[in-house]
Structure 1
Amino acid sequence: MFLEVFLLVAFFNLNSVVHCVQSKEVLYQKKFPPCKACKVFIDSFKKGIEQTAKGKFDGGDTAWEEEKLGSYANSEIRLTEIQENICTDIVEGRDQCYSIHEEYDDVLEEWWFQKQNDDPDIFKYFCIDQIKSCCPEYHFGENCTPCEGFPDNICSKNGKCKGAGTRKGNGKCLCDTGYANDKCDNCAEGYFQSPKDDNKLTCSKCHSSCDGPCTKAGATGCTKCRDGWIMDDNDGCIDVDECTSSKSPCKTGKFCVNNIGSYQCLFCDRSCQSCTGDGPDMCDKCAEGYIMKHKRCVDAEEESRKQYLNFTRYLFYIGLCIATYIVFKKNIVLAAIIGAAVSIYVIMSEYLDPHANPRDIALIQKIPG
């Protein structure tokens, strides 16, 4: 038995390990667009530069080594140390990172030994100028064309340039919510122009009651009202309370609840055939098997049973009282004992019985002590 449990646990653990390995392999093989992949590669290279920033030659005599071999900062040894660990910190797209390293290793070495002093931005040199995977910021397409509004007013500062920073895209403006036109220099339908900023157009959303365009904030700015609202000369679009109409918009067995700009139909209590609200006390008409009592629908069968129990209980009390009276005629002491017992029984039945009728209890409580 122990061996079986051990093998079962080992099997599940092995399964978990295999699943984990397979998941990592999927992430390693993930492919990014060319510019994104180049950024991932360069970020890994920059991380290697940071990790070796405090490095030095391992011979022990640093001054002599730097005099004979040159500075460690720009040395081949440091580059080799960086290249040995490049892409190892990458999970998503690791295989693609290795491919870029293998294909453009000579470009990296050229920058390291010849260009880094004159062109210290490795991303610009490698991804933009040499392998041409990316474009400068706010440029797009194969020829790195400037985006609309370059440099200070890209898409009127209310949108993004499609393909910006890559060799892809068409440079068209992708407008932020609420803005429209090719340059994002106008308010979209359902938005109005707020007090104009000195530097950019600002559009704000129309009131929820507006159908289409509006001229200003609030319900008074609507040119047309949505369904569920009606135009008022003074207050603009006001909510229509559908639930106050002479005929309920809801089917039988449901009641109407007004919402802002709309309404909702909810089911009546199960004791109601029709109703004006939630609960058995809101019934207009009782459902089959229920009767109206004290302005609420109650179970007819249960009510009949209660009436029967009340009737028999009162008869029993009357019988006890008559019996006490008869005994009283013959023996006062015995009658007093029986009378006290009857009183205790009645009180316990009416006050402590959880099934007792609350109205009956209220009546008993009003009897002077």
Structure 2
Amino acid sequence: MRVPTSIVFFNLFIILSVCMNSIHCEKENLDKEELKSQKLPPCAACKMLINSFKEGLEKTSRGKFEGGDSAWEEDKLGSYARSEIRLIEIQENLCKKIERGETQCHSLAEELESLIEEWWFKHQDTHPDIYDYICIEKTERCCPKDHYGSTCTPCPGYPDKICNNNGKCKGAGTRKGSGGCLCDKGYIGDTCSECASGYYESYKDEKTLLCSACHAACDGPCKGAGPKDCEKCASGWYMIEGKGCFDIDECLKIEETCSNNQFCVNKEGGYTCLTCDKACDGCTGDGPDMCIKCTEDYYKKDNMCINLDLLGRKRQEKWARYLTYFGLCVATCIISQRNVYAASIIGLLVSIYMTVSEYMIAHSNAQHAMDILGLK
């Protein structure tokens, strides 16, 4: 028995879909495994573990002993807030919500388990922040905020003007990095204390330096915000000595800037080319009144290019009108089968409507043609 081709193709489609889905799932699993096995730098890994521990603290912050008489249990077992039971609940859920570096997190949790327990039972009062106790003080994996390097050296400008508040200290908070300043956009210098080329000092006092961008007319340094403050003009601008930079009007040479059937629009530092109206064969601006010549099927009247098809409607408009008339006639015929008199009246009205409509359309087209051709 011959199997229909449609069934063969359907089965092939099912097999292909299953294979594609299997490949997709396998790729997703590989991606997840890669994320889990990724290794973070020592400080980032320690911070990841402690953040997971803090999430556990928040989750169990309203917990209590599971027995029926929690007051009796707290009296006998001590406060739940610092109990071993709560610690175990937190440790059991460590690293579970972490995607990147989960394997490293679990390994680090085992390595630092005794330190975490030591903090939990002995040092919560003296070291309220477990991050400072574990990551900075005990394991020396991280540095305090705005410190860097193996000896946790203060960043430039510490404590209140790190890189003059215009950049970031490289390696801040870790045992790595050079401590150099990575300046924000618009600032340069070892401590981000100067304005970069293309920027000027818009404000400066003993504590603050603000650099603002020069005007678009400037190529490089400037003394202020306007085009008159440029030391050199950018492309698309020209310099008048003592007055600053002025925009070049590229559209004065339109034949050299835009292609055929486009017109030029000048803008600061450049220009753009836009397509002419569909009525135009070359133009100086937008609209059918800006044509140099009219395109095929258009006629110039009073400096405007107008469609020459004035002796009747477009073909699709004619078809729409005739189909409407046909529909009215069919409706009249259907009504006549039930009530001849009503159909006669409706038929008369439809005939009048069609006659008047055609007369008005013809008169309108003729008048329009005469106006365009200058005939009265």
**Do Structure 1 and Structure 2 share a fold, with TM-score over 0.5?**
yes
**SS at structure 1 position matched to 2:363:** helix
Question: Take 2:216 and 2:372, find their aligned partners in 1: how far apart are those partners?
Answer: 53
Q: Which residue of 2 aligns with 1:117?
A: 125
Q: 1:152 aligned to 2:160?
A: yes
Question: Take 2:228 and 2:49, find their aligned partners in 1: how far apart are those partners?
Answer: 56
Please give the TM-score of this superposition, normalised by the length of structure 2.
0.70
**Shift of the alpha carbon at 1:52?**
2.9
Change in CA separation of 1:54 and 1:239 when aligned onto 2, cut-off 3 Å: same
1:1-369 equivalences under 5 Å are: 24-58=32-66, 69-232=77-240, 236-245=244-253, 248-268=256-276, 274-279=282-287, 281-285=289-293, 293-294=300-301, 295=303, 348=360, 350-353=362-365, 356=366, 358-360=368-370
State the AA in 1 paired with 2:270.
S
Q: Number of aligned residue pairs: give it.
A: 320
State the AA in 2 paired with 1:351.
H
Q: Which residue of 1 aligns with 2:339?
A: none
**Shift of the alpha carbon at 1:165?**
0.9
State the AA in 2 paired with 1:160.
K
TM-superposition CA deviations, 1:144-199 (whole Å, max 9, x none): 22111111110011111111111222111111111111110011111111132452
**Shift of the alpha carbon at 1:44?**
1.4
State the AA in 1 paired with 2:244.
G
State the AA in 1 paired with 2:292.
D
The answer for unaligned runs of 5 or more in structure 2 is 1-6, 312-355
CA RMSD of aligned residues (A): 4.0
Whether the aligned pair in 1 keeps the contact of 2:254 and 2:264 (CA below 8 Å) is: no
State the AA in 2 paired with 1:154.
I
TM-superposition CA deviations, 1:231-275 (whole Å, max 9, x none): 346753222222235965435544322111111234445665543
Q: Which residue of 1 aligns with 2:327?
A: none
Question: Take 2:73 and 2:254, find their aligned partners in 1: how far apart are those partners?
Answer: 100
Question: Take 1:361 and 1:101, find their aligned partners in 2: how far apart are those partners?
Answer: 91
Change in CA separation of 1:139 and 1:297 when aligned onto 2, cut-off 3 Å: same
Whether the aligned pair in 2 keeps the contact of 1:350 and 1:361 (CA below 8 Å) is: no
Question: Take 1:146 and 1:345, find their aligned partners in 2: how far apart are those partners?
Answer: 90
State the AA in 2 paired with 1:182.
D
Whether the aligned pair in 2 keeps the contact of 1:220 and 1:237 (CA below 8 Å) is: yes
Question: Take 2:372 and 2:218, find their aligned partners in 1: how far apart are those partners?
Answer: 56
Change in CA separation of 1:104 and 1:271 when aligned onto 2, cut-off 3 Å: same
Change in CA separation of 1:283 and 1:59 when aligned onto 2, cut-off 3 Å: closer
Question: Take 1:361 and 1:253, find their aligned partners in 2: how far apart are those partners?
Answer: 28
State the AA in 2 paired with 1:204.
S
Q: Which residue of 1 aligns with 2:332?
A: none
**SS at structure 1 position matched to 2:246:** strand
**SS at structure 2 position matched to 1:202:** strand
Q: State percent identity of aligned pairs.
A: 49
The answer for unaligned runs of 5 or more in structure 1 is 307-343
TM-superposition CA deviations, 1:20-71 (whole Å, max 9, x none): 6666545434443332222221111122223333444455566665566554
State the AA in 2 paired with 1:81.
E
Q: Which residue of 2 aligns with 1:335?
A: none
Greater displacement, 92-101 / 237-246: 237-246
State the AA in 1 paired with 2:368.
P
Change in CA separation of 1:363 and 1:285 when aligned onto 2, cut-off 3 Å: closer
**Shift of the alpha carbon at 1:123?**
0.1
Whether the aligned pair in 1 keeps the contact of 2:149 and 2:175 (CA below 8 Å) is: yes
Larger radius of gyration: 1
State the AA in 1 paired with 2:219.
D
Question: Take 1:273 and 1:352, find their aligned partners in 2: how far apart are those partners?
Answer: 28
Question: Take 2:28 and 2:68, find their aligned partners in 1: how far apart are those partners?
Answer: 44
Whether the aligned pair in 2 keeps the contact of 1:242 and 1:258 (CA below 8 Å) is: yes
Whether the aligned pair in 2 keeps the contact of 1:290 and 1:297 (CA below 8 Å) is: no
Greater displacement, 236-245 / 132-141: 236-245
